[in-house]
Amino acid sequence: MASLCAKLPTLFLLQSGVAHSNHMKQVLSLFALSLLPLSSLQAAETYEIDAVHSSVVFKIRHLNVADFYGRFNEVTGTVSFDKENPEKSSVIADVKVESVDTHNDKRNQHLKSPDFFNAKQFPTISFKSTKVEKAGDAFKVTGDFTLHGVTKSITLDFTKVGEGKGMQGEQRVGGGAEFTIKRSDYGMTFMQNGLGDEVRIILSFEGVKK
């Protein structure tokens, strides 16, 4: 009994030392974690395209006399934006062909027909990014652009315009891009004697943080 009593202080000290050691390890782990770059802890922010405050406009030469403008009224998609690692960002956008609007119903119906967009067979125009690169104050966004059932890789120069709070306190971000395609590259060859082959597409997106 006397021997056991003699060992108790030693056992108590050993246990206290182990507990203290474990506590110190936890403190050091938390301290090391706090030293990690903030970017390693942050995930990319995802924004949903706000169709009400976004525009998809196209421009084409008519009879080689003047440029004509039209638009699509329905666009959906998401933009995933990583401020610290832009190459991890991504863009997905879909435009509903049925929403084409040229301020003339007869012309709208003709554009939806097989002569042009063929909305029944190809109801969506889409873009899905495959690569994002920072380029000064802008971004080079490469992706698969699908129109009239044909998919081609294109690169857009996307410029971020700004970010801030909306009327309901929601976080918003916006930007835009312009690029030119040849409609004949996508199998749209009707009326080339009256309409230009080159089509200028003007995009302006506003997104709401999810």
- pLDDT tens for 132-189 read 999 888 999 999 999 999 999 999 999 999 999 999 999 999 999 999 999 999 999 9
Do 144 and 71 share a structural domain?
yes
> Is residue 96 domain-shared with residue 184, that is, in the same domain?
yes
Is the same domain home to 196 and 114?
yes
- Tell me what pLDDT residue 137 has: 81
Identify the segments of the chain with pLDDT beneath 50: 2, 4-5, 8, 11-14, 18, 27-41
Indicate whether 21 and 86 sit together in one domain.
Answer: no
Q: Domain check: are 105 and 9 in the same one? A: no
What's the confidence (pLDDT) of residue 23? 54
- Statement to judge: residues 164 and 125 lie in one domain: yes
State how far the Cα of 87 lies from the Cα of 19, in Å rounded to an integer.
Answer: 45
Same domain, 116 and 14: no
Residue 7 is part of which domain span? 2-35
What average pLDDT does the structure give for the chain? 86
Q: How many structural domains is the chain composed of?
A: 2
Of all residues in the chain, the percent with pLDDT exceeding 90 is 75
Residues 103 and 203 in one domain: yes
Indicate which CATH number applies to the domain containing 142. Answer: 2.40.128.110
Shared domain check, 24 and 44: no
Residue 112 and residue 149 share a domain: yes
Please indicate, yes or no, whether residues 49 and 31 belong to a single structural domain of this protein. Answer: no
Residues 104 and 121 in one domain: yes
Predicted pLDDT at 41: 44
